[in-house]
Amino acid sequence: MAKVVQVGSGMCGLLGAVLLARDGHDVTVLERDPMPPPADPHAAWDAWERRGVTQFRLLHFLQPRFRALVDAHVPEVTTELERFGALRFNAMSSLPTTISGGVRPGDDRFTAITGRRPVIEAAVTAVAERTPRLTVRRGVAVAGLLTGASPNGRRPHVTGVRTDTGEEIAADLVIDAMGRRSPLPRWLTEIGAPPVPEEEEDCGFVYFGRHFRSRDGGLPPLTGGLLTAYGTISTLVLPADNGTWGVAVVASANDKALRALKDVDRWTAVVRAIPAAAAWTEGEALTDGVDVMARIPDRHRTFVVDGEPVATGIVALADAWACTNPSVGRGISIGLLHALALRDTVAATGLDDPAKLILAFADATNAVAEPWYRATLAFDRNRLAEIDALLDGREYVPDDPSFPITQALIAGAAHDPDILRALQSIAGMLETPDELFADAALFEKVIGFAGQPVAPTGGPTREQLVSLVA
């Protein structure tokens, strides 16, 4: 079996490390943040600091696909999540029957297990730290890569890492799990690799969020979608662990009038003006202010160019490979799909042929993770362009033919339980649009809602919105 060194201990990285260790590999995880997670979920939220994770206290939601994958591949993670108070949540059973049509056979597939990021990550870490053959070393910062003889003489071959104290740690495979801020392209250039092709753009959204706790452990009533568009803003209402939840207003970074949403009173006034979100402010606020997050990059990196790896002996996992705007909550689920693809690729190809491994992992990435990344990116671009058009007083006419279909799907979900389940299948990453719309009758039903209003009734107009934050 192989010696694997992984740099970074975020959720997807740790899940990948657990999967590889369970396959018999010796895995060492190097984490620069020195503080281990508390064993108590409340302390994990109150006291755990993760300087390397910018979105650590941003709202999070783990999609039904994530729950299905951990149930199937690492069920001990499900058990630990529940021990930490993570919530099993099913939108179909939570929505009014006038919208859902009542619970149907098969609706259990929409069940998610979710919570606040520090709590979820603490639970995953607890599983990792008791997994045989897996060691987590904290307070260890990696400064660069070690190299050895290249298998083909053309591209560098990574044989380990060098820490900032000068320690050299050898590995048969190095995994970059350093997240969206990973310096891997620079490290590869330093060892003589060609530039890593990178697509990057600011997603253009800004998040204004707060977390709350109920007095009785319950949740506010869900009367619509978790993510809902209202003209120039969207709202997120996300159930979480231990009787907590999060609420966010998402706006365009170009919308100067709404920057005042960082003020608690203005934020509260806006959320309470939205009928489907108002009740979600009725609880004990877990923070005094509004958490603001902006300048979030959409980024994609390619490690095989013209059929040849830029380097061997190292792979990029999850957000270190590609990351998106978090509003649709797919990042961790995509990351787990990516980790499973790496586990399966290593099992299928072994490590004796380093180039074969890199090429096979690139193929697996393109098959299982890339489609979800591209779909998420397309939705984000269209939604931001729609907001900016509304700010300019223009009607948004998309070049992308998929966006009107998405809008019809959202509009129809409020009126037709079959379309609602179709929307939840895509949102929960259970089926791709291509898989879903292979059902011609369903597609025709969805198209029947083309051009109909997407936003629920009762939300503030643009003029009212601006007045509320003035």
pLDDT tens for each residue of 145-165: 999 988 777 899 999 999 999
CA nearest neighbour of 382 among 358, 368, 366, 401: 401
How many residues appear in the chain? Answer: 470
| DSSP-assigned beta bridge partners for residue 3 | 26
CB of 318 closer than 8 Å to CB of 341: no
Residue matched to tokens 């003020």: 263
- Any idea which fold 3-34+130-201+298-372 has? FAD/NAD(P)-binding domain (3.50.50)
Q: Indicate whether 175 pLDDT > 90.
A: yes
Token couple for 83: 């021990």
Q: Which of 24-28, 164-168, 172-176, 459-463 has the lowest mean pLDDT?
A: 459-463
CATH code for 202-293?
3.30.9.10
Long-range contacts of 181-184 (CB under 8 A, 24+ apart): 181/52, 181/54, 182/8, 182/316, 182/319, 182/320, 184/301, 184/314, 184/316, 184/320
Residue 139 has a CB neighbour count (10 Å cut-off) of 11
Instruction: Give residue limits of the domains in the chain.
Output: 3-34+130-201+298-372, 202-293
Q: Is the predicted pLDDT of residue 54 greater than 70, yes or no? A: no
Give counts: helices (H), strands (E), the chain: 18, 21
Give dist(CA 80, CA 192) in Å, integer.
Answer: 43
Give per-residue pLDDT as tens, 176-211. 999 999 999 999 999 999 999 999 887 789 999 999
pTM comes to: 0.96
Region at 160 (left for phi over 0; alpha for psi -120 to 50; beta for the rest): left
Lowest mean pLDDT among 33-47, 229-243, 352-366: 33-47
**What span, in angstroms and rounded, lies between the C-alpha atoms of 246 and 225?**
14
> Residue 278: which residues within 8 A CB-CB, separation 6 or more?
271, 272
3-34+130-201+298-372 and 202-293 share one CATH topology?
Answer: no
Q: Which residues pair with 53 in a beta bridge?
A: none
From the list 141, 182, 112, 166, the residue with the least C-alpha distance to 430 is 112
CB 388 within 8 A of CB 233: no
**DSSP 3-state of 307:** coil
